[in-house]
Amino acid sequence: MPKHYLLSLPLMQQDVVVHCYVMTNEKADMELIANKMMEVVEDIHGRVMMPIMLCTPLESSGIKAVRKIVCANSSDKGKTLREATDFHFTMFGTRRGNPDDTRLMSLH
C-alpha cells in the first residue's frame, strides 16, 4: 500500500503556492519529485528565492481533501487518480489565500 504525501512550495515573490500530491512506496521518490517540482517552478517563475518546501504524510481525511481539490480542477486527473495503484504525482498551483490553498496548507 503506497504512502500519500502533500508537498507545498510557497513562492515568496509571487502570490502562488505550488502543491504536489504524491503516492509512492519509495521514500527515494520524494527527493526526485521535489527536485522535479523545483525545476518546473523555476522554468515557469524564474529563480526561487529562499525556497521552503513543506512535505507532509497524509492520512485518509487529508488524502480525500487533496483528491477532491485536484479532481475539481481537472476531470482528467480524477480518472488518473482512480487508476493509480502504486505511484502517482500531480503538481498544481493555487493562489495564496484561495479557499483550496487554505485547506491544503492546513494539512501541513
Does the pLDDT at position 101 exceed 90?
yes
pLDDT level of residue 53 (50, 70, 90 thresholds): very high
pLDDT level of residue 75 (50, 70, 90 thresholds): low
Interval 70-74 mean pLDDT: 81
Could you give the number of structural domains in the chain? 1
Interval 13-32 mean pLDDT: 92
- Give me the pLDDT at residue 73, please: 72
DSSP one-letter string for the chain: --EEEEEEEEETTTTEEEEEEEEES-HHHHHHHHHHHHHHHHHHH-SPSS---EEEE--HHHHHHHHHHHHHH-HHHHHHHHH-SS-EEEEEEEETT-HHHHHHHHT-
Range of the domain at 101: 3-106
